[in-house]
């Protein structure tokens, strides 16, 4: 099959188009023909030698966690998913091959029917980012009515879902972002938007009950500065891998709860996300779609920062 692969870790130029063996479906796995694949920061980190690259055993490697496509084969005849169904979900790179390829074989517990009304490009932008946002906001920060929640990088892939989930559950949302994204964030449900370029969020945000940290200390010590906004009953959830190595010690010194979060490819939660999309409560924003062969350009744009919502790779033409 045709795939975008890396033969070693390094810069975006390591992503090249080639032929790799088709995945072999085993056990409970569903074989999916990929139409579109989402591009996420973990893809770029892994390609660069960080992320989950330590688990890579053999090359070439196909990256990519998000996919939307059409079912090719299922575990048994009466399976709830059937060949021809339009589905979306997550691959577990590098435990399995990724979605920057024509085919993926993934656990049936990590794939769900696509939301009605979404195209494949939009659907491919949802799973990893939405499930990460749900896990951080709903499951970990325990979002609830009236909760004061600060979300850093609210206009990004995970952030734009996090703002919406917080709003859906009744939180009072403050989001950091650039001035160009202020109106976008308000439309998503942020009561207040702080332009990180012109204001120090710790000076103007006020006390918060929860902080969803989608930046860490890799930019202007965002994580550390966030601690001053939380009381002893507050919680900070740091999401980007490796972005704040001293979080636990710093938070403990202030008596504040702090935790990281790692996303699970859970089809049951994805079905909840689907219902919210179909009910018009949740939307996905795709900033730009690239053909698969331009994956290196997509990684460069992602790493340059300031992407609103998600980037997507088009792997195959829309099915008839």
- Over residues 14-24, the pLDDT tens digits come to 999 999 999 99
Measured distance CA(270)–CA(183) in Å, rounded: 27
- Over residues 290-304, the pLDDT tens digits come to 999 999 999 999 999
Percent of the chain with pLDDT over 90: 98
Q: Which CATH number fits domain 129-260: 3.20.20.70, 3.40.50.10680, 3.40.50.720, 3.40.50.300?
A: 3.40.50.720
Q: Which token pair is 272?
A: 């909840």
Closest to 87 in 3D by CA, of 124, 137, 125:
124
- Over residues 245-292, the pLDDT tens digits come to 999 999 999 999 999 999 999 999 999 999 999 999 999 999 999 999
Banded model confidence at residue 189, pLDDT cuts 50, 70, 90: very high
- Over residues 142-186, the pLDDT tens digits come to 999 999 999 999 999 999 999 999 999 999 999 999 999 999 999
Identify the burial level of 16 via C-beta atoms within 10 angstroms of its C-beta, where 0-12 means exposed, 13-18 middle and 19 or more buried.
Answer: middle
What are the residue ranges of CATH 3.90.180.10 in the chain? 2-126+284-314
The contacts of residue 155 (CB under 8 Å, 6+ apart) are 175, 177, 178, 181, 184, 185, 308, 309
Measured distance CA(82)–CA(73) in Å, rounded: 7
What are the residue ranges of CATH 3.40.50.720 in the chain? 129-260
- Over residues 25-80, the pLDDT tens digits come to 999 999 999 999 999 999 999 999 999 999 999 999 999 999 999 999 999 999 99
Say if residue 12 is preceded by a cis peptide, omega within 30 of 0.
Answer: no
What pLDDT shows up at residue 71? 98
Banded model confidence at residue 320, pLDDT cuts 50, 70, 90: confident
Measured distance CA(151)–CA(160) in Å, rounded: 9
Is residue 274 within 8 A of residue 299, CB to CB? The reply is: no
What pLDDT shows up at residue 47? 98
Residue 81 pLDDT more than 90?
Answer: yes
The model carries a pTM of 0.97
Average pLDDT over residues 107-113: 97
Count of residues making up the chain = 320
Measured distance CA(261)–CA(145) in Å, rounded: 22
Q: Which token pair is 3?
A: 């795939």
Write phi, then psi, for 175 (nearest 5 degrees). Answer: -125, 140
Q: Which token pair is 248?
A: 């636990």
- Over residues 214-245, the pLDDT tens digits come to 999 999 999 999 999 999 899 999 999 899 99
Closest to 3 in 3D by CA, of 291, 292, 289:
292
Q: Which CATH number fits domain 2-126+284-314: 3.40.50.300, 3.40.50.620, 3.90.180.10, 3.40.50.800?
A: 3.90.180.10
> 74 — alpha (psi -120 to 50), left (phi > 0) or beta?
beta
HEC readout, the chain:
CEEEEECCCCCHHHCEEEECCCCCCCCCEEEEEEEEEEECHHHHHHHCCCCCHHHCCCCCEECCCEEEEEEEECCCCCCCCCCCCEEEEECCCCCCCCCCECEEEEEHHHEEECCCCCCHHHHHCCHHHHHHHHHHHHHHCCCCCCCEEEECCCCCHHHHHHHHHHHHCCCEEEEEECHHHHHHHHHHCCCEEEECCCCCHHHHCCCEEEEEECCHHHCCCHHHHHHHHEEEEEEEEECCCCCCCCHHHHHHHHCCEEEECCCCCCHHHHHHHHHHHHCCCCCCCEEEEEEHHHHHHHHHHHHHCCCCCEEEEECCCCCC
């Amino acid at each position: 099959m045709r795939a975008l692969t890396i033969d070693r870790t390094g810069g975006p130029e390591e992503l090249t188009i080639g032929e790799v063996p088709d995945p072999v479906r085993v056990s409970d796995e569903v074989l999916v023909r990929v139409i579109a694949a989402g591009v996420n920061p973990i893809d770029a980190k892994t390609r660069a030698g960080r992320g989950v690259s330590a688990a890579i055993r053999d090359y070439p490697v196909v990256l990519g966690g998000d996919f939307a496509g059409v079912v090719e084969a299922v575990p048994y005849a009466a399976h709830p998913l059937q060949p021809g169904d339009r589905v979306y979900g997550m691959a577990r790179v590098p435990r399995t091959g990724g979605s920057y390829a024509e085919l993926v074989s993934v656990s049936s517990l990590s794939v769900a029917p696509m939301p009605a009304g979404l195209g494949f490009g939009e659907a491919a932008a949802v799973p990893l980012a939405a499930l990460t946002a749900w896990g951080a906001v709903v499951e970990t920060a325990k979002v609830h009515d009236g909760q004061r929640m600060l979300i850093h990088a609210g206009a990004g892939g995970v952030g734009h879902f996090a703002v919406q989930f917080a709003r859906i559950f009744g939180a009072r949302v403050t989001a950091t972002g650039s001035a160009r994204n202020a109106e976008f964030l308000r439309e998503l449900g942020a009561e207040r938007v702080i332009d990180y370029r012109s204001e120090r969020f710790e000076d103007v945000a006020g006390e918060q009950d929860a902080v969803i940290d989608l930046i860490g200390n890799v930019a202007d010590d965002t994580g550390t500065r966030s601690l001053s906004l939380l009381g002893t009953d507050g919680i900070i959830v740091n999401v980007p891998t490796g972005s704040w190595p001293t979080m636990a010690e710093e938070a403990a010194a202030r008596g504040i709860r702090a935790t990281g979060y790692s996303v699970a490819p859970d089809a049951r939660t994805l079905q909840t996300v689907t219902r919210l999309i179909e009910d018009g409560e949740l939307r996905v924003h795709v900033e730009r779609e690239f053909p698969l062969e331009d994956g290196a350009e997509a990684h460069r744009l992602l790493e340059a920062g300031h992407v609103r919502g998600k980037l997507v790779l088009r792997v195959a033409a829309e099915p008839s």
